[in-house]
Chains A and B, each alone.
Chain A
Amino acid sequence: MIAALFAATVFQSIDTIPPHRPPRTTAIDERLAADAGMRIGDKLVLSATPGATNGDTVVVSALVQRRADPSEVARAEYRVRLHLDELQSLTGYGDRVDRFAIATKGGASTDSAIRQINSAAFGFEAYRSRDIAVETSRTFLVVSRFHRAIGVITIVASAIFLLCIMLLKVDERRRDVAALRLMGISARSIVWSVMIESAFVAVAGSLVGVGIGWAASAIINWHYRGVYRTPLAFAVVTPEIVLLAVSLSVVLGLVAGFAASQRLVRMSPLELLTGRREERASQPVPAR
C-alpha cells in the first residue's frame, strides 16, 4: 500500500485538496529523496492507489534516515510518514490504527500494563517491544547460526593447518631435540617447549587475524551500508569476540603442540638422531 502511495506521486497529478487549505507536511525516506531527487519544501501529490485521479498535496518537511533495524535491511520499499488522520482519510481506513506504541515506567509496570490490556481489550493483544524485536530479528538470528557453522568449519581447518605446521617444525629439529635429550633434558620439558612455541604461533596468528578481521569488518560495514542504505552495523569486532578468538587459538595451539611433540618424545634420542625408524618405513622402491 505504501509503495502504491509513492507510485502515485509519479503517475498522477490531480489534486483533490481544496485550494484554501494549506498542504500538510510529510517526512520522507532519505532513500526516496535521493532516488526521486526530492528536497525539503517540495510538494508531492499522494494517493492510495497507483494512477488514482484523486490525491492530497503534501509538503516535504523532513528527511528521515532509516533505522538500524535488521528486519528492514533487505526491504527495498520506500517509506513516508504522514499525519495519522491524513493517512486514514487518504486510504479510507476510517478511525482505525494498526497498532499503538505505549511507553511504560518500565519493570513491573510493563507487566502490569500488558496484563491489564490483554484482560480488558477483547480483540487486541499487547506485546513487549523486546519480544517483537526478537521476532523481527529472526532473519539475522538465522544468519548468525550460519556464521557460527562456518566458524566451526574454519576452526577445524585452522587446527589441521596448525598441527601440520607443528609436525613440520618438530621434524625439522629432531637432531636438536635428540641432543637435548642426550644432555639430560626431560621429555616433559621438550613437550612443554613445543606446546609453548605452538601456542605462541597460534596467538601471533590470531592477533594478525584480529587485525584482518577488524579491517574486514570496516570494509563489510562500509560496503553493505552503501548497498542497503542503512546505518546498521553488519560486522562488529567486540572485545568478547577477540578474547574468544585468542583463547580458542591458545587452546588449539596447545593441543597441536602436544600432539606434535609426542613424535619427539616417543622415539629414543638415537632414533631421533639417525631417523632409522623412518628410513625403515620408507625403503626406496627399486626402479624397474
Chain B
Amino acid sequence: MLLRLAWATLSRHLSRTVLATLGVAVSAAMLLDMVMLSSGMRASLQDLLLSRGFQLRLAPKGTLPFDTEATIANASTVTRTLRSMPGVQIVSPVLGAQLHVAVGDRTVSTTALGIEPAVQGDYEITSGRTVAAPNELVANADFLRATGAKLGDTLSVAAGFDAQLRSFTGRRTMTLVGIAHFLYMAADQRAVALPLATLQDMQGANARDRVSLYMVKATPDANVDTVLHRLEAALPKVSAVSIATAMQQLDTRLSYFRQLAFVLGAVSLTVGFLLVTTLVTVSVNERLGEIVVMRAIGVARSRVVLQIVLEGVAIMIVGTLAGLALGLVTARYLNSILTSLPGLPAAIDFFLFEPRAAWTALGLLTGAGILAGIYPSWRGASLPIAATLREEAVG
C-alpha cells in the first residue's frame, strides 16, 4: 500500500521524477568513481608489488627503487649476505640500464634489466623461453614492434655511445629467445631483460658488481617486518622498502588524487541530497491538502512520514542503480586518461572496481535519500489538520 502510494505520487509528475533520477544517477556515478579512485590505486599497486610474492625491495640508501640512477655496490657480497639471512627465501638482484639496438642504419633505445633468470620477478614469459646463456635476451612486445625483431633473431646491442670515438660501447651480439610481459614497465615502454653479469659487463666500470635493486621474498613462516629490520641492520647502505612503506610513499606522492576523490565524492553526495530534498519538499508543499486529509481520516503521522521518505529513497535507489552502471563506464574512461601518466607501470589502475565501492556508494546515497525525505515529510505530517484543511479549501 505504502509503495503503491509512493509510486502514484512519483508517477504523477513523471518528467520531474525522471529528471531527478537522472540527476541522482550522475551523482551516483561520480560518487562511485571517486570511491573507486580513493582506494583503487593503492589496491592496484599492492597487487602489482605482491604479484610475484616479493614483499621487500632494497634500494640504495635514501632512495626508492629505480627513483634515481644510484646503485648498490659490492652486489655479490650483499647477495651472499642476504641469502644467508634467516627468514629470507628468495633474493632477486636487478640492474637497470639503457641499451641501444642497431636496426639497419638506425638505433632503437630500450630499458634493460639485468636479472638472474632463476629468481627473477620482473617479467612473465608469454612466448619462447627465459634467458639461459650470457648472450641471450627476452623482450616485450613494444620492443619487437620498434625493432621488427622476431624470436630467434640475432641483435647487435650496445650499452652506450661514445661521442668522441663515434662508436657504440659495450657492444654484444645477442639472441632473442623469449617474448615477455614486463610487470613494472610503463605502457609503450620498450624493455629487454638479459643476464645480470652480461649487463654489468656491458656497462663497464660504472656498473661492475653493482645492482639497482634487490627484491626479497621472506619465508612463509617469517615475519616480514622482522626480516626488514634484520636487513637494515645488516646492510646500512641500503634502504629496505616493505609493501607498507611503498604504500605510504604512494599516498604521499599521489595524495592529490585521494583528496580530489574525497572532495568530489562529497560534492556528488551533496548534489544528490539537495536534488532529492528539493524535489520532496516541493512535492510535499504541493499536496499539503492530501496529506492532512490522510491525517484527518486516521492515517498515523509515522505512516505519512514513511510514505514520503519512501519516495525520496525510491528516487535515490533507482538513480543509484543507474548511476552504478554509468559510473563503471565513466571510470573506464577516466582510468584510460590517468593510466597514460608518464612512467607509471601499465598494470596500475586508478579506478579499480571492488564490490565494497558499489555498496559504499549505494549506502551513502540511500542514507542521503532517507535524510532528504525526513524533514519535509515530518513538517508536512505535523501541520495542524483543521487549519490546513481550511487553508487548502479556501485556496
On A, residues with C-beta under 8 Å from B are 1-4, 6-7, 11, 49-51, 74, 76-77, 121-124, 138-139, 142-143, 145-146, 149-150, 153-154, 156-157, 160-161, 163-165, 167-168, 171-172, 224, 227, 263, 278, 281-282, 284-285, 287-288
Cα separation A82 to B73 with both chains bound (whole Å) = 24
| B161 located at the interface, meaning its Cβ lies under 8 Å from any Cβ of chain A in the complex | yes
By the criterion CB–CB under 8 Å, are B342 and A139 in contact? yes
The residues of B that contact A1 with a CB separation of less than 8 Å are 68-70
The answer on a CB contact under 8 Å between B22 and A3 is no
| A157 and B68 within 8 A (CB) | no
Which one of B8, B70, B341 contacts A142 once the chains associate, using CB atoms below 8 Å? B341
B230 to chain A, nearest CB (A): 19
11 cross-chain CB contacts under 8 A: A2-B68, A7-B62, A50-B61, A74-B253, A146-B337, A160-B19, A163-B19, A164-B16, A164-B279, A282-B8, A285-B4
Judged by a CB distance under 8 angstroms, whether B237 is at the interface is yes
Alpha-carbon distance between A224 and B252 when the two chains are bound, in angstroms: 11
- CB contact under 8 A between A227 and B19, given known A1-B69, A1-B70: no
Q: Which residue of A49, A149, A263 is within 8 Å of B337 (Cβ)?
A: A149
Q: For A281, what are the chain B residues with a Cβ–Cβ distance below 8 Å?
A: 11-12, 14
| Inter-subunit contact B26/A157 (CB<8 Å) | yes
B60 adjacent to chain A (CB < 8 Å): yes
**Among candidates B23, B67, B161, B340, residue contacting A123 with C-beta atoms closer than 8 Å:** B161
On whether A138 and B12 interact (CB within 8 A), knowing A123-B163, A153-B29, the answer reads no
B11 with A282: CB separation less than 8 A: yes
Taking a contact as CB atoms under 8 Å apart, the answer to whether A168 and B62 are in contact is no
Contact B271 A161 (CB under 8 A): yes
Determine the distance from Cα of A146 to Cα of B16 in the docked complex, in whole angstroms: 31
- Distance A62 CA – B255 CA, assembled complex (angstroms): 31
Given A146-B337, A160-B19, decide whether A168 and B279 contact each other with a Cβ distance below 8 A.
Answer: yes
B5 at interface, CB cutoff 8 A = yes
| B62, B63, B69, B255 interface centre (most CB from chain A within 10 Å) | B62
Of all chain B residues, which has the CB nearest A48?
Answer: B70
Q: How far is the CB of B321 from chain A (nearest CB, A)?
A: 17
Contact indicator A171/B16 (Cβ below 8 Å): yes
Which residues of the partner chain B approach A142 to less than 8 Å between Cβ atoms?
A: 337-338, 340-342
Over the window 217-241 of chain B, the binary record of Cβ atoms lying under 8 Å from chain A Cβ atoms (1 yes, 0 no) is 0000000000000000000110000
CB pair A3–B12 under 8 Å, yes or no, is: no
The reply to whether the CB of B1 lies closer than 8 angstroms to some CB of chain A is yes
> Smallest distance from the beta carbon of B327 to chain A beta carbons, Å?
10
Supplied contacts A3-B62, A3-B67, A171-B16, 8 more A-B pairs, CB within 8 Å = A4-B68, A74-B254, A77-B67, A139-B342, A149-B330, A161-B274, A163-B19, A171-B13
Instruction: State the main secondary structure of chain B at its contact with A.
Output: helix
Q: Are A50 and B26 in contact, CB atoms less than 8 angstroms apart?
A: no
Complex contact B1–A76 (CB within 8 A): no
Q: Does B278 have its Cβ within 8 Å of any Cβ on chain A?
A: yes
Say which residue of B5, B69, B264 sits within 8 Å of A150 (CB atoms). B264
Complex alpha-carbon distance, A153 and B341, angstroms: 21
Interface residue from B5, B252, B278, B342 paired with A165 (Cβ < 8 Å): B278
Say whether B341 contacts A139, CB under 8 Å: yes
A224 touches B256 (CB 8 A): yes
**B residues less than 8 Å from A285 (CB atoms):** 4-5, 8
User: Does B15 sit at the interface, judged by CB under 8 A?
Assistant: yes
Residue of B nearest to A49 (CB): B73
Cβ of B236: which chain A residues have Cβ within 8 Å of it?
Answer: 11, 51
Q: Does B106 contact A (CB under 8 A)?
A: no
Q: How far is the CB of B166 from chain A (nearest CB, A)?
A: 6
Partner of A138, one of B67, B255, B264, B342: B342
Q: Is A145 in contact with B337, judged by CB distance below 8 angstroms?
A: yes
B296 at the A interface (CB under 8 A): no
Q: Whole-angstrom distance between the alpha carbons of A161 and B16 in the complex?
A: 11
A164 contacts B278, C-beta separation under 8 Å:
yes
Residues of B within 8 A of A153 (CB): 26, 29-30, 330
Contact at A6–B253, with CB atoms within 8 Å?
A: no
Complex interface: chain B residues within 8 A of A161 (CB): 23, 271, 274-275
Most chain A C-beta atoms within 10 Å of own C-beta, residue among B19, B162, B236, B333: B19
In the bound assembly, the distance between CA atoms of A77 and B249 in angstroms comes to: 12
The chain A residue with its CB closest to the CB of B12 is: A282
If the complex has contacts A164-B20, A284-B8, are A4 and B61 also in contact, measured as CB distance less than 8 A?
Answer: yes
Give the complex CA separation of A30 and B257 in angstroms.
Answer: 26
Q: Which residue of A lies closest to B34 (CB)?
A: A150
Contact A7 B61 (CB under 8 A): yes
Complex alpha-carbon distance, A278 and B330, angstroms: 36
Q: Is B27 an interface residue (CB 8 A)?
A: yes
Q: Is B282 an interface residue (CB 8 A)?
A: yes
